[in-house]
Every structure is written in structure tokens, then in C-alpha cells.
Amino acid sequence: MLDQQLKNLLRHTDITFQAPSFDAIEVKDAATGVSLAWVKKHDRADVEAAIVRAEHAQALFKQQSALQRADLMMAWYQLILKHQQDLAQILTAEQGKPLSEANGEIKYAASFIRWFAEQARRIDGDVITPVQSQQRLLVLKQAIGVTAAITPWNFPAAMITRKIAPALAAGCSMLIKPAEQTPLSAYALEVLAMQAGLPRDVMITLSGDSVDVGQTLCESPIVRKLSFTGSTEVGRILMQQCAPTIKKLSLELGGNAPLIVFDDANIEQAVKGIMNSKYRNSGQTCVCANRIYIQDGVYDAVSQRVIEEVAKLKMGDGRLADVTQGPLIDEDAIIKVQSHIEDAIDQGAKLAIGGKRLAPDNTFFEPTVLTHVTQSMRVAREETFGPLAALFRFKTEDEVIQMANATEFGLAAYLFSQNTARQWRVGEALEYGMVGINTGLISNEASSFGGIKQSGLGREGSQYGIEDYLELKYMCIDLSE
Ligand code: ADP
């Protein structure tokens, strides 16, 4: 149940707290299954009307100065921080992650707004050395126009701000389709954006059936750019749907992150990195270590320490003190983790700790460690997206680079070594968009988050993150009279 203070933050025409008469999506508490609210199920006609509103809003918004846009964004940033606790409560209720992680996510979400508010004033073009002396050649950067975002449930706040902040900084409007499980965080952010004074309809949240809303956004010629975070399968569908209108696309898709611990690593640092990378959000992040490769000489020591740390984790309702592991998002997530464990054990892996769900009527799953995992097992090929640490053994640097790169994914990779030459050598050899060296935490607003191969297109955060919301315009001026 949401208390009155949280309901006030969700004062939006699309939300009701009693079963409504209109077509709606029920939002449930992730830990208890209790109804939290109902959000409107926008149909195709609603989405088309919203696109037109976003177009009108953008035409005016792009005329504001960069400084005005930056100031509005900073006001939004401040309001989010002021309501950090409330936003975290809403996030934990609908998503399930521990309150401490939810608080961290809200701060992280806000950081993108601040970063891109600062960047709004640095959207500089170029003056090119001309070919002919009477010519002047210029490159301007202009807002791409109306944009859309489709976001996942694992970071219900941060995946939205990471997209809309660069859009607003550039002078674009954005239509946002949050995940069905976690629309409340999106609406709360929109309510605060309007309170901060951002013009109406530069941000429009559109809860609804993912196929209907997604397809309408993709097919619209008015929407000039789509940014998506989610699975590679859905990313492929969206790419196809965007082809007829040649829409600009940013895709943050699945990963299958290797985390490599060499014999020369600082073992405690590596264990901390494994715990941070693997068990945050109960293993439900796209940069979670999925394959943990440990070199022969330290395999037993590192495994033992990981098992000890996993034994200290505490599952439960994220609102309770010292809970570190919330529920998984749904039954399918449970089935996936179970199937990876069964397949690995069938092929010779050893269960060191955990291994089963807490109860059949909820979606908590014990933090699990498997040792003696090999490349032929499903967990080597597929992203588990759950609290399963799969520990592989390797002998040489060349062998582990080859194993780490043997995947169609290329999002994040991690390595632990105290040898600087090896850090560079292996860091450069890993075919990934991001490499963490001696750390399991790599995300922040100033870095260029994104993958290569089938993990996606484009970058979010950093000075690169705004480029996808800008068009280049080349102007050639002839000065001869
Ligand atoms: P996950 O496995 O993390 O749920 P998905 O790719 O299924 O990842 O979902 C990410 C987002 O994509 C969610 O907002 C979901 O509603 C949306 N989505 C899922 N299927 C489609 C689709 N066919 N078209 C558009 N959006 C979709």
C-alpha cells in the first residue's frame, strides 16, 4: 500500500488507486503482491494524439535558450533530490529492490539530469577550414525533434532520466513507455518535471500494452528517434519497426558479462567486485557479471570467500532494514535461474550455496554459487539475469580472453589484476563496450554507457550521450559578391 504522501506524488490523470472502470494495468507490490495502483492502458489513438502534442511542445521548447532549458532541468533535479525518499519508496514498492539501492538509483537518476543540464550549454558546432577561399563552412548541431523511449523494469527511474535528460538538453520532447511492471516511478518523475516548470508535453508518459504503444511510436514519421533499453530480441523487433521511417536508434540490449580474476589480483578487491557486480538488484542488471572466470592459482581461495560473502546476504521485503536481496521480477525469471542451475549441475557443476526459490507463492530466489562451471553449459551462453554466480576455472591469459569473447554480446566486462601491463593488454583485447578494471561498479552519468556486437547501438551518459539527440547541419556560405 502507498501512503498518502506517496499518492500525492502520483497525482496524475493516468493513475487511480481503486479498481477503475477504464482499461487499466494493475501495478502490484513486488514483495507482497498487493495492488498499489492502476495506470491507464493507452491505446494506439492515445499514443498518436500524444505524439502530436509532443510535436507542438517541441516546436516551442527548441526555441528556448540553452540556459533556460538548463535552469528548468536543474529545478527538476533539485525536486527529485527533495523527494528522494518518497521516490525510493515508490520504486521499491513496484520493483522490489532494497530501499538502500532504490535511494541510490534515485540519486543516480537525478545525476543524469544535472549532467545534461550542464551539457545543454556546450552543444557547440564547428567551423571547418574551407576548400575555396571565398567560402565559409559551418556545422551546426540542432535538436532531432520528437523522441521516444521504451524502458525496462530493472531501473525504473534511471533508465528514464538517462534518456530524457540528453533529449531535453538538446531541445527535444520525449514520449516514454515504461515497463508494465514499473510505471509509477515514471509518472512520479513526470509529476515533478511539471512542478519544476518544464513545459507541458515535453515529457509524456504512456503506460499501455507494449506491442501497441511500441509499434505506434516506431511507425510514426513524427518521432525521429527511439531509445530502447531491454532485451536483444525486442531490440531486433524495434529496429525492424523503425526501418520504414529511417528512425535514429539507440539500443541498450542484453549482456553476458565476463568477470576475470587473475592470479595476481588483490583477492579481497576481486571478491568485493564480484559481490557488487553480481548481486546488485538480485542479479537483474544488464551489466551483472554472468561468467566469473578465476585463474587456477586463486580459484579455491576466491570461491571460498565468495561463498562466505553470499552466506551473509539477506533476502526479504526491500523496505526492511538490512535486506540486501529483493524478489525477482516474475515467475519467468525464477524459471530461467532454475533452468541454468539444473543444466549446469547435470553437466558436472557443483552447487556451493543457495540453489532454490524461497517459496512457491513468491519470487524470491536464494543467492546461489556454482563452482566447476564450464563453457558448454547454458549459463556460459545466456544471460541469467538472477542471483547466480557461475565460477569458471582457467589457466592462461590467452585462454580466458578467448572464452570471454566467445559470445554474440558485448556490453560490459571486468578484470582484476595488479599488473598494469596486463590490465591494458586484456582491457584492449576484450570485445566489449565497457571494461571495469579492479571494480565491479562502472555506471555513472559521466561515462559512456553502451555495448557493441548484439548488445546495442549508441552511448548513454557522458558527452557522447547527447549526440544521438542532435542532427548535424552543414552550411556552406559563399562570400563572393
Ligand atoms: P525484459 O526481459 O527486461 O523485460 P523486454 O525487452 O521484454 O526486457 O522489455 C523491455 C521494455 O520493452 C519494456 O518496457 C517492455 O514493455 C517493452 N517491450 C516488450 N516487448 C515489446 C514489443 N514487442 N514492442 C515494444 N516494446 C516492447
Average pLDDT, the chain: 97
Q: How far is the CA of 210 from the centre of ligand 1 (A)?
A: 6
Give yes or no: residues 81 and 179 share one domain. yes
pLDDT at position 22: 85
Residues in the chain, how many? 481
- Ligand 1 atom with the smallest distance to the CA of 233 is 6
Give yes or no: residues 369 and 388 share one domain. yes
Give yes or no: residues 13 and 50 share one domain. yes
Question: What are the strands, taking DSSP E only, across 202-281?
Answer: 203-205, 223-229, 248-252, 257-261
Long-range (24+ apart) CB contacts under 8 A made by 76-80 are 76/113, 76/192, 76/193, 76/196, 76/198, 77/110, 77/113, 77/114, 77/117, 78/196, 79/192, 79/195, 79/196, 80/106, 80/109, 80/110, 80/113, 80/189, 80/192
Q: Is the dihedral of CA 42, 21, 183, 257 positive or negative?
A: negative
Pairing outcome for strands 368-373 and 350-353: antiparallel
Give yes or no: residues 394 and 336 share one domain. yes
pTM: 0.97
pLDDT at position 21: 86
Q: Work out the average pLDDT over 312-317.
A: 97
Q: How far is the CA of 177 from the centre of ligand 1 (A)?
A: 10
Q: What is the pLDDT of residues 368-413, one digit of tens each?
A: 999 999 999 999 999 999 999 999 999 999 999 999 999 999 999 9
How many folded domains does the chain comprise? 2
Q: Which residues, in sequence order, are CB contacts of 360 under 8 Å at separation 6+?
A: none
The answer to whether residue 447 sits within a structural domain is no
Give yes or no: residues 223 and 278 share one domain. no
SS3 category, 412: strand
Cα distance between residue 476 and residue 210, in whole Å: 44
Which protein residues are within 6 Å of ligand 1, measured from CB? 150-152, 177, 179-180, 210-211, 214, 230-231, 234, 237-238
Residue 8 has pLDDT above 90, yes or no: yes
Q: pLDDT over 70 for what percent of the chain?
A: 100
Q: What is the pLDDT of residues 145-159, one digit of tens each?
A: 999 999 999 999 999
Q: What is the pLDDT of residues 210-232, one digit of tens each?
A: 999 999 999 999 999 999 999 99
Q: What is the pLDDT of residues 91-105, one digit of tens each?
A: 999 999 999 999 999
Give yes or no: residues 275 and 242 share one domain. no
- Ligand 1 atom with the smallest distance to the CA of 218 is 25
What residues make up the domain containing 220?
4-253+455-474
Q: How far is CA 127 from the centre of its chain?
A: 36
Give yes or no: residues 355 and 418 share one domain. yes
pLDDT at position 3: 95
Give yes or no: residues 459 and 371 share one domain. no
Give yes or no: residues 33 and 75 share one domain. yes
Sort 345 into a burial class: Cβ within 10 Å, 0-12 / 13-18 / 19+: middle
Pairing outcome for strands 452-453 and 409-410: antiparallel
Q: Which ranges in 62-182 belong to alpha helices (H)?
A: 66-82, 84-95, 99-119, 158-170
pLDDT at position 363: 96
pLDDT at position 161: 98
Q: What is the CATH number of the domain that holds 292?
A: 3.40.309.10
Give yes or no: residues 56 and 171 share one domain. yes
Q: What is the pLDDT of residues 236-245, one digit of tens each?
A: 999 999 999 9
- Ligand 1 atom with the smallest distance to the CA of 234 is 6
Reply yes or no on whether 252 is catalytic: yes
- Catalytic residue, from 252, 309, 383, 445: name it: 252
Q: What is the CATH number of the domain that holds 230?
A: 3.40.605.10
Q: How far is the CA of 228 from the centre of ligand 1 (A)?
A: 9
Give yes or no: residues 167 and 155 share one domain. yes
**Closest residue (by CA) to atom 11 of ligand 1?**
152
